[in-house]
Amino acid sequence: MEVSFLKSATLPEQFPPADRPEVAFAGRSNVGKSSLINRLINSRNLARTSSRPGRTRSINFFSAGKTLYLTDLPGYGYAEVPLNVRRNWKKHIETYLKKRANLKAVVVIIDVRRKLGEGDLDLLNWLKMFQIKPIIVVTKVDKLSKSEARRQFDLFSNQLLKEGFGPPIAFSAKTGQGKQELWKKINEIVKLVE
């Protein structure tokens, strides 16, 4: 499937038409959203990456063939961004999540090296409340030893189960681990609602 950058938007009227299913990617700043998207679509730099947190400030839409939109949301929780900018992002993202009728799932990305944060749980509970399917991905598993990555992944799995969410997918943008499993999950959800 060929994927191309469609547009960046900061206002709902700039969003592309809601004429096909859409899957969004969300997570804390610098969690690896853009790297995950690039690995998922076999591109080196279609989704722009940065080592500086808080670089994605608009909602970036990608067209996957003529059948699907993929959306890269700004990261949340970056403390060095001014409070008024963070509030603006939050409002902007909430508007997107509430009003995007074709949004079928949100891939919630969590860094295996971090703890499950309040922002992560807030997003997951918000998605549950609005009946938007979350696909939880624990990324950067290649950054730890195999045993430490497994231990951390199991901790996330247990905590997510206690919170009422299904098991996450272990993912590495570097090695491609979890790519097929993530595509399978996306396809299951998109087909469920068609």
Please give the tally of structural domains in the chain. Answer: 1
Q: What is the reported pLDDT for 103?
A: 96
- Report helix angle 33-40 to 179-192, nearest 10: 80
For residue 8, the enclosing domain spans: 3-192
CATH number, domain with residue 178: 3.40.50.300
User: Taking the C-alpha atoms of 61, 62, 64 and 67 in order, what is their torsion angle to the nearest 10 degrees?
Assistant: 20
Q: Mean per-residue pLDDT for 81-97?
A: 73
pTM assigned to the model: 0.89
Mean pLDDT of all residues belonging to the chain: 86
From the CB of residue 181, how many other CB atoms can be counted at a distance below 10 Å?
14
**Residue with the two structure tokens 């090695």:** 175
Q: What is the reported pLDDT for 82?
A: 62
As a whole number of angstroms, the distance between CA 45 and CA 51 comes to 13
Q: Mean per-residue pLDDT for 145-159?
A: 94
Q: What is the reported pLDDT for 117?
A: 84
The answer on pLDDT for 102 being more than 80 is yes
The answer for residues whose C-beta is within 8 angstroms of residue 138's C-beta and 6 or more apart is: 110, 111, 112, 152, 153, 156, 168, 169, 170, 171
Rounded alpha-carbon distances, angstroms, from residue 111 to 16, 27, 153, 171, 174: 30, 9, 10, 10, 14
Q: Mean per-residue pLDDT for 63-76?
A: 90
